[in-house]
Structure 1
Amino acid sequence: MPVSRAPGLRPAGLLPCSVALLALTACSGDDERPPAAPTGVTAQSSSATTVHVMWKRVKAAEDGETVEAYEVLQAGKKVKEVDADRTMVDIVGLKPSADYVFTVRTRDTAGNHSTPSRKVPVTTPAAPAEDSNPPTRPGPLRGEANGSRAADLSWTASTDDQRVVSYDIYQGNAKMHTVDGEETRTVLTGLRPGTDYAFSVRARDAADNLSPASAPLRLTTAQGEGGDGAETEDFRASVRKNTKDKAYYLDLSWTPPRTDGLEAEYQVYLDEVFVTTLAGSDDAPEGRERHTVYLGTEEGKTYAVRIRPRLPDGSWGAFSTKRTVTTGS
């Protein structure tokens, strides 16, 4: 069961840990259990010198360590590292007309690495001659919500004096997805039910010139059955005392929001103050998430506890029902 610590709290007799605010965990100098490897890895050429790599978020390790970062490897050598809250990155400075193989691995807060993900091959296109002309603006972006958690998008192809290599899909100012330049449609998943979105698309050529953005397409996903599915349900919190270290631990459990198999991450608040982030999983036993947060050794201290999910589309879900617990009660 994953364990996280509230800020400034640690068991008596233990040395303090050097822990990032967003990944507060128990001291784990002896931890050697690796986290899970990323799944759903894809690689798409964005230009003659750029490849866009994407993957699915990884849950926390069973020993309580949270995910600290993802490392992108090319031919076994690390070429990029991103924080745990990111699941895509552009690899730049590559050679045109070259074959590459990428993998992604997870690193936890104890410094353990997962095994690399499956190998994903990709070939960059040929470099164009001197080219400073961007593609034309993509034609009108069309689309509609596909139920409560997806959207079908299509657009008219851009033109370029060389050729269009890829299209980037944006939600507001944030890039969400990249598709091949031969494609003029895509399906975006992991959206939030009952939510207003503004999507746009930009074309990119082999010289990394970007077209102007299309006019935004505004749409609203369906509410879905039983509400918008963007909040945790049946949230429970209880306190127990560990007889070994004489410390109190907060045991949390809840039913995750419905995100079509794409796991959320969660922020924990004590007395309305953010204390830690917990990584969700796509295979929670019995359909429930279970995590533990270290509270310290003080008896008779009362906490108001609630959580909220960060969803795959980057938006925040609603806060859970507030629960009140007291150590030693």
Structure 2
Amino acid sequence: MRSLSASRSAAPGRCVALGAALTLLVSCGGPAAGDGGSGGPPGAPLGVTADAGSATTVHVMWNAVSVPGGVSGYEIFRGTTKVEEAPGSQHMVDVTRLKPSTVYAFSVRARDTEGRLGPPSREVRATTPAAEAADRSAPARPAGLTGRVVGSRAVQLSWSAAPDDRDVVSYDIHQGATKIHSVGGSQTAAVVTGLRPGTRYSFTVRARDAADNVSPASGSVRLTTAGTGDGRGTAPTGFRATTHRADGAYHLDLSWLPPRTDGVVTEYQIQLDGRPATSLVYGGSAPRDRRAEYSFYLGPDAGVSHRVRIRAKLPDGTWGGFSPERTVTTGA
């Protein structure tokens, strides 16, 4: 994706659409994408992803939708067919009984507490791997599971790759006896969000191959989330801020690396001088493993200092921690 910049048009008090990829919402503006606003049905869920869990399953995830009154549930579609439902507190499901070596398209719709169904999300595609003939051998248990608390609502887990006579397609993450997440077979780390502050949790990991053989559980790791916390582990990293002059005015140039989460971050809030300045909402492909960039208007005067920091709305609908604050001076 090209650099996301609105430096030539984003004056204070204006809402600017940057193609299909990004929407700028100033703090005095309207509801963000994925938000039903005040009276309408829910918005379309953002951050939808789909990854094969085996030759016959696909793990579908999305970002929680915020709407007055709350979301009562989500409907998951394969093409035009509804295949799963999930409660409003959940933002991931496993779609089962699929065919090997097949491309599937999935979308998600939110339903509010009044029963109103929002528009569908954008479609995402996943390809199930080929079935392994007569594969009855499960992968070995993942070893070396470790974890650390990242604030009051998230933990980061990591483990060693599990051996298998074929290939590991995915890893299932369990909280107690409940599967809560899945990542691809090439990943050996995950961040689990949406936890409660001051709560003790136990996590294990299982490996899954294309034939849906599941390994024994790894050793457990027990973690207690902070009773209070600033969530720095869920903050954007590598945050940079500079200014440039164009068309007789100064503009603030920001760049950062998205936080590691259990889904796609599609919304950020920028604070300028201690107050919310803008919200950035990605309607298309949000950056995940690359730097994000953004510019906006500051004013015509040189020698003016500003403090700026940024935070991400996590896939579970909660705000992550703020990045370190940077200070910039126009014309410096």
Bucket of the pairwise TM-score, normalised by the shorter protein: 0.5 to 0.7
- 1:267 corresponds in structure 2 to none
1:55 aligns with 2:59: no
- 1:44 corresponds in structure 2 to 51
- 2:201 corresponds in structure 1 to 197
Identity of aligned residues (%): 54
Counterparts of 1:165-314 in structure 2, within 5 Å, are 165-225=169-229
User: 2: CA distance between counterparts of 1:224 and 1:108?
Assistant: 30
Q: 1:50 to 1:223 in 2, by over 3 A?
A: same
User: 2: CA distance between counterparts of 1:67 and 1:152?
Assistant: 27
1:126 aligns with 2:130: yes
- 2:164 corresponds in structure 1 to 160
Asked whether the equivalents of residues 84 and 95 of structure 2 are also in contact (C-alpha less than 8 Å), the reply is: yes
1:150-171, Cα deviation, whole Å (9 max, x unpaired) = 2221111111122100001111
User: 1: CA distance between counterparts of 2:125 and 2:152?
Assistant: 33
Deviation at 1:174, TM superposition (A): 1.5
Paired residues, number: 203
SS at match of 1:47: coil
User: 1: CA distance between counterparts of 2:133 and 2:191?
Assistant: 33
Deviation at 1:95, TM superposition (A): 1.4
SS at match of 2:41: coil
Unaligned runs of 5+ in 2: 1-38, 231-258, 262-267, 270-274, 277-315, 318-332
Asked whether the equivalents of residues 151 and 229 of structure 2 are also in contact (C-alpha less than 8 Å), the reply is: no
Deviation at 1:33, TM superposition (A): 4.5
1:100-142, Cα deviation, whole Å (9 max, x unpaired) = 1211012345543211112222111111111221111111211
Q: Which amino acid aligns with 2:74?
A: Y
Counterparts of 1:78-93 in structure 2, within 5 Å, are 78-93=82-97
In angstroms, what is the RMSD of aligned CA positions? 3.1
TM-score by length of 1: 0.55
Q: Which amino acid aligns with 1:103?
A: S
1:70 aligns with 2:74: yes
User: 1: CA distance between counterparts of 2:72 and 2:157?
Assistant: 33
Deviation at 1:186, TM superposition (A): 1.4
1:183-238, Cα deviation, whole Å (9 max, x unpaired) = 11112223333322211100011111111101100122233359xxxxxxxxxxxx
Q: Which amino acid aligns with 2:153?
A: R
Deviation at 1:55, TM superposition (A): 1.9
TM-score by length of 2: 0.54
